[in-house]
Amino acid sequence: MADNLPADTATRILDAAEALFAEHGFDGASMRMITSQAGVNLAAVNYHFGSKEGLFQEVFHRRLAELNKQRLACLDALEAESAGAAPKPSRVLEAFFGPALEMAADTARGGATFMRLLGRTYTEPAEFIRKFMAVEYAEVVERYTRALYAALPDVPKAEIVWRLHFMMGAVSYAFSGIDALALVTGRFDDDPALLKPRLTAFLLGGLRAPLPDGPEGKSGP
């Protein structure tokens, strides 16, 4: 994105699209905005990606393939290191969110922009988006849920799935960076280096929280 080498047409489009989708959303960013920011012709999007949806999907695939490959590698390393024993929950979380946090801190090569886009897209449930996200994430989610089941044998599986859900929400929101709160509380310090330990501490606290009672104390005897 911030490379000063001249990139090829397809890459220039992907970079411009990433930034504009992050800022305006899928509908809000028009192909005219994208192609003019990329310095290419309007028709180039259809030529290279088939359609606007195809472009959107490729923006995600480019980054997510890399991100999820790293996540799987981290988990492989962790499981090899533990040699059969269940790894600690904190290590599993770190393996999962670490690569994402690194990407979010990489402002130079557009990683930060992409993570904002990703956070925002989790709540944009257009049909075609859900479809390819499911495919893109399938293996990672499957492996990590199993790892968490093993790491937290005392927490019911349904509870773990929910908590993974909550964690992804907290992380998405932190990435999407709208700072709805900041508008009111005043801009608080947001050194990206501090985000990682803060977020990790919070997530781990939530993940290992004492189990809730049933609704209004309806839990078993």
Partner DNA sequence: GTCTATAGGAGGATAGAC
Partner DNA sequence: GTCTATCCTCCTATAGAC
134 binds a second copy (CB under 8 A): yes
Strands (E), the chain: none
159 binds a second copy (CB under 8 A): yes
Residue 166 is encoded by which pair of tokens? 């909550």
Closest Cα to residue 90, out of 211, 212, 201?
201
Residue 68 is encoded by which pair of tokens? 């999820």
Which residue number, 77 or 178, has a Cβ lying nearer to a second copy?
178
Closest CB 29 distance from DNA, rounded Å: 7
Which residue number, 46 or 219, has a Cβ lying nearer to DNA?
46
32 binds a second copy (CB under 8 A): no
Of 1, 19, 22, 40, the one binding DNA (CB under 7 A) is 40
129 binds DNA (CB under 7 A): no
Q: Are 52 and 28 in contact (CB under 8 A)?
A: no
Closest CB 37 distance from DNA, rounded Å: 12
Residue with tokens 């599993």: 92
52 binds a second copy (CB under 8 A): no
Count other Cβ atoms within 10 Å, centred on residue 63: 21
90 binds a second copy (CB under 8 A): no
Q: Are 170 and 121 in contact (CB under 8 A)?
A: no
Question: Which of DNA, a second copy, none binds 48 (CB below 5-8 Å, type-dependent)?
Answer: DNA
Residue with tokens 């980054």: 63
51 binds a second copy (CB under 8 A): no
Of 5, 83, 211, 221, the one binding a second copy (CB under 8 A) is 211
Closest Cα to residue 86, out of 138, 25, 36, 152?
152
Residue with tokens 């220039």: 12
Closest Cα to residue 38, out of 56, 5, 11, 63?
11
Residue with tokens 């290419």: 40
Residue with tokens 């992804």: 168
Closest CB 184 distance from a second copy, rounded Å: 4
Binding footprint of a second copy on the chain (CB under 8 A) = 23-25, 27-28, 119-120, 122-126, 130, 133-134, 137-138, 141-142, 145, 158-159, 161-174, 176, 178-181, 183-185, 188-189, 193-194, 196-215
Binding footprint of DNA on the chain (CB under 7 A) = 8-9, 29-33, 40-48, 51-53
